[in-house]
Each structure stands twice: as structure tokens, then as C-alpha cells.
Structure 1
Amino acid sequence: MHSNLLASAFALISAVLIAVGTVWRHRILRAGQSRSEANTAPLKSLSNLNWWLSMGIAFVAYVFQAAALAFGSLLVVQPILVLSLMLTLLLSSRVERMPMSRAEGLWAVVLTASVAVVVVVGHPLPGTREVAAREWVAVIVLGILVTAGAFAFASRRPAATKALTYGLTCGAIYGYLAVFAKVAMDVLTHRGWLAMLASWQFWAVIATAVAGIVVQQYAFGAGDLATSLPANKVAEPMVALALGYTLLGEEFDVGGWGLALMGASISIMLLSAVKLTRASLR
């Protein structure tokens, strides 16, 4: 059943849970580290019980994201998940006892408004395109090569550059995860649990989730949350929306001027995410 309302509700719950889990994991990874110092062993946090509890929250967030994708398209769900950036920075400011500035408040409003335009005015429709095997292979190979290249580039860079590069890479991986999850949930909706478990996209969801968690550990361990998180939250919707539009055939139910408005709204959404972060760094 297609329902943008249910998809939006589940995506918003997912965004809130993502924010809570993100702030918690970042505090665990940055404990005892200065702002300019990178955590050289980010995977050691896996021995921390609190880290696993925070991952439990992340898992529930993924469940709500999957539920959202069962009812709506990537063009609905991913813009709403971008709100997790605003929610994360807001929660982080509360935890760190640093109130949000007027600039942060302004860009938070702009971000929310642009997301609302995409979801409400755009009337996103689910894709019906059958994706050829060679297209899947090409997209996956490209993703692997870009990820490997990003790690090679970041390995000898300063902490801030590491955080930015790992953040972008993590976002791209989660963009792939969203696409795989959308296909897997469509299989579940139309053919049932057994068919979903037999689909390679379901196992790709698990693989990309693990890869994303590992890269996120490196991103969070490399520096401030305000450096890695925006890169993550900008790259994720860009990759997911691009693949959803070109690969799965999703589209907005609007005409020529409407498409121009959607393009402008998505651009403003991404710009406001960057501006919101810059404001939080001041």
C-alpha cells in the first residue's frame, strides 16, 4: 500500500532515533579526545556496552526507515531523514550545554521548510522500473571503488579532512543501503517474507549496514560531529535520490515548473544542511 503520510511519519520517527543514537555514539568515541585529535582506534569502542545500546537505538531507527520505505518512495523518505541532522545538532547542543544561535535556528527552519515542499508539493511516486543485473553490478562496483579510494585518500590526512572524507563515504554507503532496503521492502510487500529473505538486496542491506557502521566509527573518531555528520547527511540523500530516480524510476508527480521547484527545494535542503553546520561551528 502506497501512503506518503505513513511513510513520512515512520521516517520522522527514524530521524529522531538516528539523532539520539548518533550523539550517544559520538560522545563514546570522543571521550578523552581533544577537538583536533583523531581517535586512532575507533573500533575499540565495540567493547563498550553503551556503544551496543546506542546501536540498539540505531537498529530501531533502521526498522522505522524500512517501514517508511514500505509505504513510500525514496523521494519521500530520504528528505525527511535529512532532518536528523538538525535534530542531532539540537540534541548535541543540549548535551554539550551550548545553545543554538540565531543562524542555526534560521537554517533549521529553512531545512524543515524545504523538506516539507519536497514531500507535500512534490507528491513523490514509487518507481516501477525493472533494473537489469548489469546495472546493479556497475553501480555496486562504482560504490566499492569510490569507498576504497576515499579510505586511501584519508589515511594520511589531518583529523578534520579524515572526518569530512569518512563522513561523505559513510553517507554514500547509507544512500546505497536505502536503495537496497527500498527494493527489499517492495519484495516483502508484494511477495512475502520468504521472497525477501531470498533476495540478494536484503543481504546487501545487511552488508552495507555493517560497512556504514564501520566507516561511521572512523568518521566520528576523526573529529567533531559538526564536521563528519553534515557530510554524511548531504551525501546520503544525494546518492539515494539519484539512484532512486535513475535506477528505480521514481519520480515527482508534478509538471515542468513543479520539477524546477523540486530541484530548487532539494538544492536548498542540501545548502541549508551545510549552512546549519557552519553556523554550529562558530
Structure 2
Amino acid sequence: MHDNLLAVGFALIAALVIAWGTVVRHRIAAHQPDNGDSPIVAAAKRPLWWFALLTALSGYGFQVLALGFGTLLIVQPVLALTLMFTFPMTAFYEKRRLTMDEIIGGALLTVSVATLVILGKPVPFHGKVTFHDWLPAIIVTAIVMGIIYAASIRMSAPYRGLSLGVITGITYGFVAVLSKAAVNVFNHGGLLILLTAWEFYALIACAVLGTIIQQYAFNVGALRLSLPAMTTLEPVVAFILSYAVLGEKFQVHGWNWAIMGIALVTMILSTFALSARGNA
């Protein structure tokens, strides 16, 4: 059943839950002692990290519910509000007030997301998306990520964190689109067909890979470099793939495209500015 209101509602819950899990994992990474363990092993020794990870997974469950009711072009902008929710939570943990930059950035992000959702009125593609439709995007992305990772090996720690943040953002962009693809498979064929679909296993692989790379990015360099990259690139990659691969479209004509373009750029820039501001 296609219901944009339910999609937005579940996406908002997902953004709120994911924000809390992200704030907790950031705090663990920031206060992690240097005892020689790898970032993943050190984090896994903290029970709170597992609780935060389970919280993030429950948030992902709400994201899947949202995708069951609406297009990725609706759900993904709403999920960008995750960043806005992290600021009140971080301020609460740090016992401080929100700054004017955080308030203005959050307001711009909210307005841009509302514009994309309300004015855009995205519609799904009702045809069948095959593996051959995915193949060009997979090949190009694998080459780009390979080049970035190879270059990061020779970089100093802060810029290596930036490179890993870029890879994380691209990977999570694929996770978002594969999630929608898997939901589509389930809606049309049921659980048995989903368990035999390549999209389901590609989704699991990308989610695991993204979690590992993200934890390395959090630990290898300053969060002010890695977090803006991953939070900005995820919606950009998801938007591109939802159009190019899934065939979703905005119902926009004429000069309204200019408004949509301004809203999209505002969402990207405010996301980058907020994530950089929050980890300066």
C-alpha cells in the first residue's frame, strides 16, 4: 500500500532512533582508550556499543517500514533529519545549550526536507528492475571506492578518516537503495522470494561493510572530517541511484524544478555544515 503520510511518520521515528544510536557510538569512539585493539574489537568490548548498535538496527527496521509505504525519494530526505536530532541529544549529554548555528542549520535542513517531500510528491516505478539495471552503477562505484581506498593508505590519519567517511557514505547510499529494492521484492513475491533474491544478500553485505568502515572512520581521524563526508554522500548517492536504477520520479514541472534544486542543495550544504559544526 502506497501511503506517503505513513512513510514520513515511520521515517521520522527511524531518524530519531538512529540519531540516539549514532550519538552513543560517537561518544564511545571519542573516549576509547588506545590499548592496541582494532577499532571494531575495542568497541565490541563495550556493552553500551552493542546496545547502541541494536538501537540503530531497530531504527533501520522503522526505515524499512517507511520504505514499504513510500518511495526512497520521500524516505531518504526525512532520514537526513537524523543529523538534526543528534544536536539536542549531544547538547543534553554535554550539558550545554544549542548554539545559534545549530538552530539555524537545523531549520534550513527541516525546510529543505519539507520542500522535497511536499513539492516533489515522488512516485514509484512500477516496472521490474533487473540486475543488468544495477550493473553499471555497481561497476562504477566499485572502481571509485577502490581508488579512494588505495589513495587513503598513503594519507595521514585525519585525511584517511575523510576518505573512509566518503566510502562509508557511498556504501550507506547503496544500503538505502538496496533496502528499497528488497522491500519491493518482498511486496511482490513474499518472504520466500526475498530469501532467494540477490538484493537481500547484497543489502546484508553492504550493511556489514558500512558498519565496519564507519567504525574505522570514527577512530582513525577527526570526526569533523569523516562524519560530514558520510552524512552528505549517503543521500546524494541514494538520490542518484533511486532515479537511475529504481526509476523513481518527482512530480515536478516548470519552474518548480528550480525550487527543488535549491532545496536539494540546501539539504546537502546544511547537512555538511551541521555535521562539520558538531564535530569541530
Change (3 A) 1:205 1:218: same
Whether contact under 8 Å (1:14, 1:61) holds in the other structure is yes
Off by >6 Å, runs of 4+ in structure 1: none
Whether contact under 8 Å (1:74, 1:179) holds in the other structure is yes
TM-superposition CA deviations, 1:143-202 (whole Å, max 9, x none): 222222222222232332122222221111111011111111011112211111111101
| Residue aligning to 2:38 | 41
Q: Can you give the 5+ residue segments of structure 1 that lack an aligned partner in the other structure?
A: none
| Residue aligning to 1:184 | 182
Aligned equivalents of 1:246, 1:96: Cα separation in 2: 42
Displacement after TM superposition at 1:221 (Å)? 0.9
Sequence identity of aligned pairs in percent?
Answer: 40
Aligned equivalents of 1:97, 1:165: Cα separation in 2: 32
- Structure with higher RCO (Cα < 8 A, 6+ apart): 1
More displaced, 219-228 or 196-205?
219-228
| Residue aligning to 1:263 | 261
Aligned equivalents of 1:153, 1:12: Cα separation in 2: 37
Whether contact under 8 Å (2:164, 2:226) holds in the other structure is yes
Displacement after TM superposition at 1:230 (Å)? 2.2
Aligned equivalents of 1:183, 1:8: Cα separation in 2: 18
Displacement after TM superposition at 1:32 (Å)? 4.4
| Residue aligning to 2:125 | 127
Q: Can you give the 5+ residue segments of structure 2 that lack an aligned partner in the other structure?
A: none
TM-superposition CA deviations, 1:231-279 (whole Å, max 9, x none): 2111001000100011111111121222222121111110111222344
- TM-score after normalising by structure 1: 0.91
Change (3 A) 1:232 1:40: farther
SS at match of 2:5: helix
Displacement after TM superposition at 1:11 (Å)? 0.8
List aligned pairs for 1:186-265, cutoff 5 A. 186-265=184-263
Does 2:22 correspond to 1:22? yes
Aligned equivalents of 1:67, 1:42: Cα separation in 2: 31
Whether contact under 8 Å (1:100, 1:280) holds in the other structure is no
- TM-score after normalising by structure 2: 0.92
Aligned equivalents of 1:98, 1:158: Cα separation in 2: 33
